[in-house]
Amino acid sequence: MRRRAPVFALVLLVASCLTTPLASQAVEADPPPRVALITPEALAPLLDSVSVLDVRAAWSSYLQNHLPNAAWLSIETLRAQNGELPFQLLEPGAYASLFRRVGVDPRRMVVVYSAGDQLDIDATFAAWLLSAMGVPRVRVLDGGYARWELEGRPLTQRYPRRPVPPGMSGRGFRPAVASLEQVQAASRGNGVLLVDARPPEQFAGSAGAQMRRGHIPGAVNHPWKDDLEKRDLALVWKSVADLRASYAAQGITPDKDIILYCNSGTEASHVWFALHALLGYPKVRIYTGSWTQWAEREELPVEK
């Protein structure tokens, strides 16, 4: 019996060595992504434990019906005139106050949804800002309100009843933005890729609300709606594989430093969500002045 003790100890030592890497892998598992999609099926059992924002354009739509526990937030309150430019970002403290008033709790997952039958850009713009405010878990509802309703999921006219959450200071506000000067340098060919998220007719200069039409020289056009597909009456996101192939075909690859623009930043946020949140591109910024600022400056060149 005394001879078998060392053998038994050796077996225990070998077993512990074999199991250590597995334990280490469990500890070192990747954290969940900060910004991502969530399906109606995945959201349904979480409604009582998450903060939900309805960012559909019309207040009347919210009054008629909305997801349980959802608070309404107008996207128009998230931007304001700044000097010569409309639709510019607010000060961090203003965002902290607004998000707190609509019940955003940074300790919870925050889910944002828009109409889903026509526009999805309001949800991605809100998600971009929430991420910039440091909210650790932000989700965009795939298919929005339209898909939720089509699947026969619960709706309500009741307002959410929740205690006011702790505030966000805004001190860590770090939006992924590019300046006019950085866009000018990219247009001159410094290796940074410009991507225009507007519809093709605006990129080509055959349509547009601004006095000058066309696009920033050197830009590639990837319309934001190209990332969606129709499912029944709802617009849902294409698969990651399809998105990756679509962007790669245009030379929009993860090794690039990318600046996005549209008319005022909302459409660009949709492409930001696709590239950064869904495809994991590390260097993606939004030019918030976008075509509104560029077209206003007569000294800046325009291509058609």
User: Measuring CA to CA, how many Å separate 5 from each of 12, 17, 18, 19, 296?
Assistant: 11, 19, 20, 21, 85
- 177: exposed, middle or buried (Cβ count in 10 Å: 0-12, 13-18, 19+): middle
- 123: exposed, middle or buried (Cβ count in 10 Å: 0-12, 13-18, 19+): buried
Among residues 55, 192, 219, 262, which one is catalytic?
A: 262
CA angle (237 as vertex; 232, 241 as ends), nearest 5: 125
Q: Give every strand in the sheet of 138-141, ordered side by side.
A: 35-38, 138-141, 110-113, 51-54, 70-72
Single-letter amino acid code for the residue at 212: R
Closest CA to 268 of 82, 107, 87: 87
Q: Which two tokens stand for residue 246?
A: 């679509």
> Does the active-site annotation cover 262?
yes
**What is the DSSP-derived secondary structure letter of residue 159?**
P
Q: Which residues form the catalytic set?
A: 262
